Amino acid sequence: MTTAFLFPGQGSQAVGMGKGFYETSAGAKAIFEEANDALGFDLARLAFEGPESELALTANTQPAVLTASVAAATACAERGLRPALAAGHSLGEYTALVVAGALRFTDAVRLVRKRGEFMQEAVPVGTGAMAAIMGVELPAVERAVALATDRGGKMSVLLPVSAPFHCSLMAPAGTRLAPELDAARVAAPRLPVVRNVDAGVTRRAEDVRPFLLRQVASPVRWTDCVQRLAAEGATAFVEVGPGRVLSGLLRRILTGARGQSVEDPAGLEKALTAAAGAAESRS
């Protein structure tokens, strides 16, 4: 069995995320403490207690989701559950690169804090929106949601984010992010990471910065990413971090795909049981 980890992006946040791992995993607790030190405020308390309105601010959401996801992956590793490949949705691509060893966690959490600030400041608050539409691409978000069913869309929903990310309106954010990325230390990933921009595979250190920079104002080609993971040999998929959005999408993208969601210790136990059962069935 070849396992791919999927890491969620903005919109999967919820008050209380990561608390279960913080309380049960020494490694996960250390990740939250490292984030607090790197950012200079109590991110753990914000993630665990809210308020939701403050957690929903993009500059807070992005480091919080990243930290909760890396903490969950750390807890998985402590129990022997590790990926052979990885991908992350938008912000989650940073998580994938951290878990793969291409980015240091402290660099990544500072980067996504800045990324969130820059992306929110690129457009006025309340301007624009985002939607997930399965099976169809249309330019006007509200009209697209209204017309998607008639056009053959299988699922359409406005996303709980505060700005129209991954479009040309984000170009100013990319310009501001460039020197921040240049200052971050990168390394060759220890495992392949499928990237959002083109569903290509990042295997070299020199591919990390340019594709993260392009990602800011480019569409997330998530269907292509999941299909590329399967083409690279992934046979089992584990969504690691808050929410279960990617697990739901997985079933729509790959017929018969086997997916698990690890957002808390109970989910980890289920994933470990599923992995043990798959191993036993092969023996």
Same domain (yes/no): 140, 22: no
* CATH number, position 207: 3.40.366.10
What is the DSSP-derived secondary structure letter of residue 85?
E
pLDDT at 218: 85
What's the rounded Cα separation, in Å, for the pair 115 and 20?
27
Same domain (yes/no): 101, 197: yes
Q: Find out whether 6 and 95 touch, Cβ atoms under 8 Å.
A: no
Q: Find out whether 7 and 90 touch, Cβ atoms under 8 Å.
A: no
Mark which of 103, 138, 161 sits at the end of a domain: 161
Same domain (yes/no): 101, 227: yes
Residue 95 Cα to chain centre, angstroms: 6
Q: Which residue has the tokens 């624009």?
A: 128
Same domain (yes/no): 189, 271: yes
Q: Name 202's bridge partners.
A: 193
Q: Which residue has the tokens 């240091």?
A: 104
Same domain (yes/no): 131, 25: no
What is the DSSP-derived secondary structure letter of residue 163?
S
Number of domains forming the structure of the chain:
2
Report whether pLDDT(87) > 90.
Answer: yes
pLDDT at 137: 47
Q: How confident is the model at residue 147 (pLDDT cuts 50, 70, 90)?
A: low
239: left (phi over 0), alpha (psi -120 to 50) or beta: beta
Same domain (yes/no): 91, 192: yes
What's the rounded Cα separation, in Å, for the pair 169 and 173?
9
Mark which of 139, 161, 183 sits at the end of a domain: 161
CB burial of residue 175 (10 Å; 0-12, 13-18, 19+): middle
Same domain (yes/no): 33, 75: yes
The model's pLDDT over 93-123, given as tens digits with 9 standing for 90+, comes to 999 999 999 999 999 999 999 998 888 887 6
Same domain (yes/no): 74, 175: yes
Expressed as residue numbers, the domain containing 270 is 3-122+164-282
The model's pLDDT over 217-256, given as tens digits with 9 standing for 90+, comes to 888 999 999 999 999 999 999 999 999 999 999 999 999 8
Same domain (yes/no): 232, 146: no
Tell me which residues are annotated as active site.
Answer: 90, 166
Same domain (yes/no): 112, 193: yes
Report whether pLDDT(134) > 90.
Answer: no
The model's pLDDT over 195-224, given as tens digits with 9 standing for 90+, comes to 999 999 999 999 999 999 999 888 899 999
Burial 62-91 (b: 16+ CB within 10 A, else e): bbbbbbbbbbbbbbbeeeebebbbbbbbbb
Same domain (yes/no): 175, 272: yes
The residue ranking higher by pLDDT, 154 or 281, is 281
Same domain (yes/no): 216, 102: yes
